């Protein structure tokens, strides 16, 4: 709360205009589309799967001579391999810990891994004797302390949580159904995934609770992502028109998000923002994918069209096709995925926006602030005002 008292008109106007400019400078960030390249060797091909909370680090997989490698991308170092014969599937919101799956050179079996710059790559192994079945870490909490994914408990693929202190924990030890944990909330208290062929949301109090179903198709669904607080889950369900993206909350239940066109054969939601006001994923027509954005204001739209028309990225995206969007930051400003570049190769990409993508008119708020500041300047020049309160 700031109050100006007994100041002359020019001084007050300068203060107000200075506040406006300060706000603009503190919130300004260039909107940009960044192709991330690929690792040397082999054919050209990369996919960005997860982005940190500041849009500074991206992880995914890239083809090399022998296999796919897990990569970490930063603006300073570019794209670098962090795990051979593997894939990086998530990065913590603070950008410190990366998790995924990598092949154990001794056994040839894929195991969950953790990576950080201080300790490098650490394979997590298995909760019991080494299994011939693969396992993977699929997501990590905001501070990097809790890892979730799937592994083998007593011969059955099961959803797990993992911490340094407790090691592997079977999330549903009383069932022999297969399960997978795909996403975790920022604080590690809420987990989503699949039990059998149905999406679930897990808490320590309620255990695995099914998210329900929608009419049409079979009772089959998959959870792919959730909001940072765990209140909203996204994924896909089996509808009468094929696999369809959904958004779930306790208030609305499961809601289908639809398709980009009538000839679409499937859609799936991969990730959502903190508020659930923006969801990204992929829509498919046969074998052709197209990245989508869903918001309450506009419904489901081609992400590339949104970036080109509302964020003026048509020049940067010229010659590109955005195939899939696989992650979005909690604040809705950073998105990653896979596309076909100008050479016809599949390449990972990162979009950084100057405002959250779910804002209907991205630049309207800032322009409005300038208008208000200009109007205030005019009023102060015309007449002195003894006291102004800004709340």
DSSP 192-210: EEEETTEEEEEETTTEEEE
Q: What is the CATH number of the domain that holds 230?
A: 2.120.10.30
Q: Is the pLDDT reported for residue 22 higher than 70?
A: no
Determine, yes or no, domain membership for 310: yes
Determine, yes or no, domain membership for 264: yes
| Burial class (CB within 10 angstroms; exposed 0-12, middle 13-18, buried 19+) of 36 | buried
Q: What pTM, to 2 d.p., does this model score?
A: 0.85
Determine, yes or no, domain membership for 362: no
CB 169 within 8 A of CB 149: no
Determine, yes or no, domain membership for 367: no
- Per-residue pLDDT of 228-242, as tens digits, reads 999 999 999 998 888
Closest CA to 160 of 80, 70, 99: 99
- Per-residue pLDDT of 298-354, as tens digits, reads 999 999 999 999 999 999 999 999 999 999 999 999 999 999 999 999 999 999 999
Considering its fold, how many domains does the chain have in total? 1
Determine, yes or no, domain membership for 360: no
Range of the domain at 252: 29-353
Q: Using CA atoms, how far apart are residues 59 and 41, in angstroms rounded to an integer?
A: 18
Determine, yes or no, domain membership for 113: yes
Determine, yes or no, domain membership for 24: no
- Per-residue pLDDT of 49-86, as tens digits, reads 999 999 999 999 998 877 899 999 999 999 999 998 99
Q: Using CA atoms, how far apart are residues 303 and 323, in angstroms rounded to an integer?
A: 9
Residues composing the chain: 391
């Amino acid at each position: 709360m700031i109050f100006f008292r007994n100041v002359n008109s020019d001084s007050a106007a300068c203060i107000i205009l200075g506040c406006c400019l300060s706000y603009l400078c503190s919130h300004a960030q260039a909107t940009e589309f960044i192709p991330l390249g690929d690792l040397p060797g082999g054919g050209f091909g990369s996919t960005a799967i997860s982005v940190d909370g500041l849009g500074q680090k991206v992880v995914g997989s890239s083809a090399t001579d022998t296999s796919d490698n897990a990569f970490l991308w930063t603006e300073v170092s570019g794209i670098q391999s962090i795990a051979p014969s593997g894939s990086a599937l998530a990065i913590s919101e603070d950008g410190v810990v990366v998790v995924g799956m990598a092949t154990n050179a001794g056994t040839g079996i894929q195991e969950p891994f953790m990576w950080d710059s201080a300790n490098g790559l650490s394979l997590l192994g298995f909760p019991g004797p080494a299994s011939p079945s693969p396992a993977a870490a699929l997501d990590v909490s905001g501070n990097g302390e809790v890892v979730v994914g799937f592994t083998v408990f007593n011969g059955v693929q099961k959803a797990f949580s993992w911490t340094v202190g407790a090691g592997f924990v079977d999330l549903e030890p009383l069932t022999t159904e297969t399960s997978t944990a795909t996403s975790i909330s920022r604080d590690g208290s809420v987990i989503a995934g699949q039990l059998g062929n149905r999406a679930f949301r897990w808490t320590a109090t309620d255990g695995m609770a099914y998210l329900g179903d929608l009419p049409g198709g079979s009772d089959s669904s998959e959870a792919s992502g959730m909001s940072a607080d765990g209140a909203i889950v996204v994924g896909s369900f089996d509808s009468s028109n094929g696999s369809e993206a959904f958004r779930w909350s306790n208030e609305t239940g499961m809601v289908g998000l639809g398709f980009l066109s009538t000839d679409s054969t499937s859609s799936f939601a991969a990730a959502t923002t903190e508020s659930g006001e923006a969801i990204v994923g992929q829509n498919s027509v046969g074998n052709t994918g197209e990245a989508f954005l869903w918001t309450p204001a506009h419904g489901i739209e081609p992400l590339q069209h949104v970036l080109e028309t509302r964020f003026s990225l048509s020049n940067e995206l010229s010659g590109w096709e955005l195939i899939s969007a696989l992650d979005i930051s909690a604040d809705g400003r950073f998105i990653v995925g896979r596309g076909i570049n100008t050479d016809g190769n599949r390449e990972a990409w990162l979009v950084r926006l100057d405002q959250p993508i779910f804002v209907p008119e991205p630049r309207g708020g800032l322009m409005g602030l300038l208008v208000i500041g200009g109007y205030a300047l005019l009023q102060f020049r015309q007449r002195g005002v003894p006291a102004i309160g800004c709340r």
